[in-house]
Structure 1
Amino acid sequence: MRRGRIQYRQRRPPRKLSCRCPLRRSAQLSLPPLLRRRRRPSYPRLAPRSGQHASRHDQRPRPRNPPADRSVRMGAGRLHHRAGHPQRLRLLPGWPADRRAHHPAQRHAGADPGRSVPGIVTGPARHLTPGAPASCIGRRARFYHGKQSRHRPSVSFLFRIGVSPLLSSENLMTKALLILSEEAFHIVYPTRVLEKLRARVDSLDIITPAESWPEHRDALAQAEVIFSGWGAPVMDEAFLAAAPALKAVFYAAGTVRDFVTDAFWERDILLTTARDINAIPVSEFAAAAITLGLKRAWHYARLTREARTFPADRPMPGAYGSTVGLVSYGVIARMTRERLRSLDVRVQVFDPYLSEEEARQEEVDRVDLEELFATSDAVSVHTPKLEETLGLIRGHHLARLRPGALFLNTARGAVINEPEMIDVLRRRTDIQAVLDVTHPEPPAADSPLYELPNVFLTPHIAGSMGPECERMGLAMIDELIRYQNGEPLRWAIDAHIAARIA
């Protein structure tokens, strides 16, 4: 007992005696507990946690069939295995031939010493960096859950943990070129993203602005993959002739219509985009605007400001039992629909490519364009800008909207007949229009859109802005990892898909 504090000693359970002989057991029982002979545990001791000392009682029975995230037996030693984080195990020339032959990794690498082969995982790949010290080489070591334990060394062979497959000597031959506008370079590929990209390629050249590529033909001729974004160069026959080694393009933005040509598809170059990533903030913007529109937030905010008091009568559709219409059902519309599931609303869709079976799975109703505008309390446009969609939404569609309805456009301004829309908004002051895109963009200085009280105009901010743009650059790095590992890309598109998207 210390001054001012009482400490109680916890009783420990009795230990099993290692000897089975009755005479010896009786002799040992006569000894004090600290002098009794104990059986040596057959299971390993765990590594002490950070900030703790190793304890002789910090032991855990070893399961007969350890799961994938436990230490597993391989040859003469143990390594920690975690599924989902493929690493590399490098066989050194000093590894004895008999142990190489019994090693399971040799069925991939043969007997070639020093070759990088699929091995056992010691931790997430993000914790391993190029040039990391091989702390386990030349001494016995054991890994538990990514931590090294030296209490009971049993690994008697030499091994080296690589820096993940994408950083192995086999895959570290990718020559990358980063080419886009200067503004997009700073917001899509900031320092943090750029460092991750440099760590996964052999060399990285940067060309900005993209129009200056004829001055850097040497870098373009060696590029195997191109990372780009807004302001990408037009990849026509002249550009592709200067890039004979080009195999894949990672485009950290949405639409590819500004730079892809027929010559690009004829070269059979792999193309992947961040359009699904850019759709995330657009769906967030759309779902938030629809929620506020069902409450008629902009309408009553204007009335409150003009009257200098709260209006007595406040009719509104609300977010219970109302109907939301989505024009087109692409990636952004599907994400918007998922966010609207938190509301008790009915969702109906106009999309000629949406089948009845898919509509049932998505829990939406297929309707034509006329019915959608006539029966919706809020209409959100997600139509791509194509030749057949120019001026798709006319004035008579808007005129059929319900009283106090919301009209939201985050797609492209050209899909709406803007003069007819302005005429309807002048007559139907109860309709609230939220326009994030216009045609042209921005509107002319004398456009009525700046003056109409029931128009909420934003400068094309629904898409990725500021730090949100980094997410697109990181997504393209993830695609590069899949490309280097020989895995199918998640957001790859071809000429058929490119013709249907915005």
Structure 2
Amino acid sequence: MTARRYRVLVPTTLHDPRAEEVYAEAGDIDVEYALAPEERPMGGGPLGPAGQRAKAEQAVRERIAEFDVVGALPGRPFVTAELLERADRLKVVYIASAGYDSIDVEAATARGVAVVNAAGNNVVPVAEHAVGLLLSVSRKIGQLDRRAHRERRGLHFTDVGAFPPELAGGTLGLVGFGAIGRRVARIAGAGLGMSVLVHDPFLDPDQARSAGVEPVAELDELLARADAVSLHLPLTEGTRGLIGARELARMREGAFLVNTARGPVVDTDALVDALRSGHLGGAGLDVTDPEPLPAGHPLFDLDTVVLTPHHAGASPTAIAKAYLMSATAVVDALHGREPATLVNGDVWPSCLQRWKREQ
């Protein structure tokens, strides 16, 4: 009897030779790519980013029924409920990132499909980027740099207008206190001399205090007390639009907002209004809604906004780690070991029962 072999469809590439080695060492896994070699580089190669994603999505749609495992890409919906209905062979969906909102986890769970991610791969770069955005927007670094380049002259310090406040002695409010939030708290507290407030419904207050931060039960209180607010939470139905017009109005006059989580956590139209009115002092955004922003979007007209292209988690170390983590999780799952980064943990017993019946 021929031994069972598993098929994995990779939408772009594994971005790290060690991930390929993990699959090869498993001995019973065949890896196939949705794209030709020249189309796989980060940035899209000849296809460009949009073309690369479109071709990968098309390949997954057309071939998902052939595979035991498929990879998803972050951003807009990728592995949908409709797609899963055509994937009777599918056992695992992986994503080489911490965020998994492009996967319909509820639909996957209903079909006994495990979802694994790479939670924790990018803690360091995202935390550094969040603090970088806070410094850039609060100290007007981005604003002054753009002006100097636009006017092609060296600015005088009086060109700054109102001098920006120091962060030392101020209060940072963190919404979400996972690994990234905890690292931001350490940098802001020990490095910048800020007091740190934390709102996270899953946080034990005693653990928060032992970490040197003050737990705040109500989001409204955190918003009203903080000089700057940084978002560090996943996109779920409960967090979509969490920061809207009401919440922005609760923030202090001149406060700053930083978002390195997911764009739809913030109501973009309400944010534009709060910035235009001057109620907020500025915003540092690595993620937006929509993403990417279309040409002519109002955020481009606001000098108090610093924009980066959803690359907070991108460092060579973090990217390599993400693909290694996701490959390891896939191999563990296919070999009956519960993956360390299993998103839908409740489904694991039914996964094992279903897979055993199909052997």
TM-score by length of 1: 0.53
State the match for 1:357 in structure 2.
206
Query: Per chain length, whose mean CA-contact separation is higher, i.e. which structure has more relative contact order (CA < 8 Å, sep 6+)?
Result: 2
State the match for 1:322 in structure 2.
170
Q: Alpha-carbon deviations, 1:96-143, whole Å to 9, x = none?
A: xxxxxxxxxxxxxxxxxxxxxxxxxxxxxxxxxxxxxxxxxxxxxxxx
State the match for 2:32 in structure 1.
206
Match of 1:228 among 45, 61, 71: 71
State the match for 1:259 in structure 2.
103
What secondary structure does 1:479 align onto?
helix
Q: In the alignment, does 2:72 pair up with 1:242?
A: no
Question: Post-superposition shift, 1:419?
Answer: 2.3
Change (3 A) 1:302 1:178: same
Change (3 A) 1:396 1:236: closer
State the match for 1:289 in structure 2.
133
State the match for 2:46 in structure 1.
none
The question of whether the paired residues in 2 share the 8 Å contact of 1:393 and 1:415 is answered with yes
State the match for 2:184 in structure 1.
336
Aligned amino acid, residue 351 of structure 1? D
What secondary structure does 1:461 align onto?
coil
Moved more, 288-297 or 455-464: 288-297
Aligned amino acid, residue 390 of structure 1? R
Aligned amino acid, residue 308 of structure 1? L
Aligned amino acid, residue 326 of structure 1? L
Q: Once superposed, what is the RMSD of the aligned Cα atoms?
A: 3.6
State the match for 1:178 in structure 2.
8
CA distance in 2, matches of 1:218, 1:444: 34
Question: Post-superposition shift, 1:372?
Answer: 1.9
Aligned amino acid, residue 321 of structure 1? G
State the match for 1:145 in structure 2.
none
CA distance in 1, matches of 2:296, 2:155: 29
The question of whether the paired residues in 2 share the 8 Å contact of 1:435 and 1:456 is answered with yes
Change (3 A) 1:218 1:201: farther
Change (3 A) 1:175 1:331: farther
Q: Give the alignment of 1:7-46 within 5 angstroms.
A: none
- Aligned-pair identity (%): 28
Question: Post-superposition shift, 1:347?
Answer: 0.8
CA distance in 2, matches of 1:274, 1:377: 32
CA distance in 2, matches of 1:346, 1:217: 49
Question: Post-superposition shift, 1:277?
Answer: 1.3
What secondary structure does 1:434 align onto?
strand
Change (3 A) 1:176 1:233: farther
Match of 2:243 among 378, 382, 393: 393
TM-score by length of 2: 0.71
Change (3 A) 1:490 1:215: closer
The question of whether the paired residues in 2 share the 8 Å contact of 1:174 and 1:203 is answered with no
Aligned amino acid, residue 324 of structure 1? L
Q: Alpha-carbon deviations, 1:277-317, whole Å to 9, x = none?
A: 14443222113223444544345556777782113887444
The question of whether the paired residues in 2 share the 8 Å contact of 1:175 and 1:202 is answered with yes
The question of whether the paired residues in 1 share the 8 Å contact of 2:226 and 2:255 is answered with yes
Question: Post-superposition shift, 1:487?
Answer: 5.8
The question of whether the paired residues in 2 share the 8 Å contact of 1:177 and 1:205 is answered with yes
Change (3 A) 1:219 1:464: same
CA distance in 2, matches of 1:484, 1:264: 16
What secondary structure does 1:493 align onto?
coil
CA distance in 1, matches of 2:99, 2:305: 27
Uncovered stretches (5+) of structure 1, i.e. residues with no partner: 1-172, 498-502
CA distance in 2, matches of 1:195, 1:378: 44
The question of whether the paired residues in 2 share the 8 Å contact of 1:205 and 1:219 is answered with no
Uncovered stretches (5+) of structure 2, i.e. residues with no partner: 35-55, 348-359
State the match for 1:470 in structure 2.
320
What secondary structure does 2:235 align onto?
coil
Question: Post-superposition shift, 1:449?
Answer: 0.8
State the match for 1:309 in structure 2.
156
Q: In the alignment, does 2:256 pair up with 1:406?
A: yes
Q: Alpha-carbon deviations, 1:263-289, whole Å to 9, x = none?
A: 532454443211321444322211322
Q: Which has the higher helix share?
A: 2
Q: Alpha-carbon deviations, 1:191-236, whole Å to 9, x = none?
A: 453244323333413141354358668953xx4xx26241764462
State the match for 2:19 in structure 1.
193
CA distance in 2, matches of 1:313, 1:218: 61
CA distance in 2, matches of 1:421, 1:215: 39
The question of whether the paired residues in 2 share the 8 Å contact of 1:276 and 1:491 is answered with no
Q: Alpha-carbon deviations, 1:69-95, whole Å to 9, x = none?
A: xxxxxxxxxxxxxxxxxxxxxxxxxxx
The question of whether the paired residues in 2 share the 8 Å contact of 1:180 and 1:233 is answered with no
What secondary structure does 1:473 align onto?
helix
Q: Greater Rg, structure 1 or structure 2?
A: 1
What secondary structure does 2:115 align onto?
strand
The question of whether the paired residues in 2 share the 8 Å contact of 1:298 and 1:432 is answered with no
Change (3 A) 1:267 1:453: closer
